[in-house]
Homo-oligomer: A and B are copies of this chain.
């Protein structure tokens, strides 16, 4: 839509973020998935710009999503824990914290500029009333605050609710079923319909919008609707991917049909790498990369990235830009012609010069796990300051974030510090982080010097936020979500008894 603002003709594109859950870099045909079952996403890439060097901000859901919406590393926006060193933390329903009112989410700014903002799917920035997405910049919501784990007994643990806007409309495994045995659930179809209806009505109203399509069919327990079950060569996980691919085809098609494709910036990505612990039935692929979700190896944090905007992004491009999910904050504001907040550190950069003019910028990628900076990428080099896959104790229980992969001194089962001599890899020659570069080489000296300088600057200016993921309490679970009375679905919470959450990895 072209709006007239302050006498100037400013194009404010619609913004559509297609955020996948636990989908790996290697899950798309265009990124080398051997079964090649994503024709619509592959076509999207061929009509737009592919980002093979795109990263999330954290190797798991909640912190990554908080970083996307705030443009800031989880260490700044509070989505981390200090209960233990370098532990992944998120927002299960016993979490007390969530997104702080002091954080600015970019839909808040878009809203002031006249956008209508909708989230469809998983929120994951806290489920207590003060963390509700409609309090943080969104106008509409259809989806759930937490993962679709369950079923629970509604006595010890309540089932997770789904909301339409302020009110709950049901619970998983009650009104919204997922059959663990067959993997059947029609949720992606529901989320697709929500998206199509929203896009259609905004198009008719010529109303600029931000749609955050945050679906979760590829997060365990993985699901697909009946027409897609058994259609993939990749099992249930592939069925879910096929349904998503189909759905994205429908969404892009609607943008074309309504004539607003040229006014809509679309970006496809994932919140973290594939959960190899759930493979092969419930987990995806990280292609040639090392390990998966929960780790700061490439498999945990490199994610697919595709930009699509007919008439603005030239077709068939590949960008080598190191991109971050946090850049979607800055880029969205930039495309909407809005100022980036100046009262705080913003980690995302504006990708619009990359997308519109193929102008690339050197910038580092910081790989955090909880409160620790584990690794840094600059150019083709990645330096690990700490390595850890998970504990021997977890491993002995069969919990393995790097199945079939074992790099001595790299995929360590102790937290190993390498700050004196960081482990250095060249991700161009060695995307699998198998061959650490000799500390005696000039390549090592040059690269580590450059990276150390960046790390020093980063550390010197770092002001960590208030950690939000330290305290758990059964009383805060989804016992009586807003709107439960009307449905007769209110449950009685236990007495408050907070504890320091335990984060095992």
Contact = CB atoms under 8 A, between A and B. Distances in A.
Interface of A: 26, 29, 31-36, 46, 50, 52-53, 232-235, 237-238, 279-281, 285, 287-288, 290, 302, 318, 320, 380, 403-407, 426-432, 434-435
Contacts of A407: 404
The A contact surface, by secondary structure, is loop
Q: Which of A32, A238, A318 has the most CB of B within 10 A?
A: A32
10 contacts: A26-B288, A32-B288, A34-B288, A35-B52, A35-B320, A233-B380, A237-B429, A279-B434, A279-B435, A404-B406
A406 B408 CA distance: 12
Contacts of A32: 26, 31-33, 287-288
Contacts of A288: 26, 32-34, 285, 287-288
A318 B36 contact: yes
A235 B280 contact: no
A334 to B, nearest CB: 25
Given A288-B26, A434-B404, A428 B31 contact: no
Contacts of A279: 430, 434-435
Contact of A280 (B287, B320, B404, B435): B435
A7 B285 CA distance: 55
A57 B380 CA distance: 36
Given A32-B31, A233-B380, A285-B288, A404 B428 contact: no
Nearest to A425: B280
Given A26-B32, A34-B288, A280 B233 contact: no
B26 A52 contact: no
A234 B429 contact: yes
Contact of A428 (B35, B52, B403, B434): B35
B237 A280 contact: no
B404 A318 contact: no
A32 B27 CA distance: 10
Contacts of A434: 279-280, 403-404
Contacts of A318: 29, 36
A234 B288 CA distance: 14
Nearest to A433: B404
B237 A287 contact: no
Residue of A50, A288, A426 ringed by the most chain B CB atoms within 10 A: A288
Contacts of A232: 428
A34 B234 contact: no
A435 B428 CA distance: 29
A285 B432 CA distance: 10
A273 to B, nearest CB: 13
A285 B287 CA distance: 11
Nearest to A316: B46
Given A279-B435, A426-B280, A430-B280, A34 B52 contact: yes
Residue among A26, A52, A429, A432 with most chain B CB within 10 A:
A429
Nearest to A410: B404
Given A32-B33, A404-B406, 6 more contacts: A32-B32, A233-B428, A234-B429, A235-B429, A281-B429, A287-B287
A130 B128 CA distance: 83
A257 to B, nearest CB: 22
A180 B351 CA distance: 41
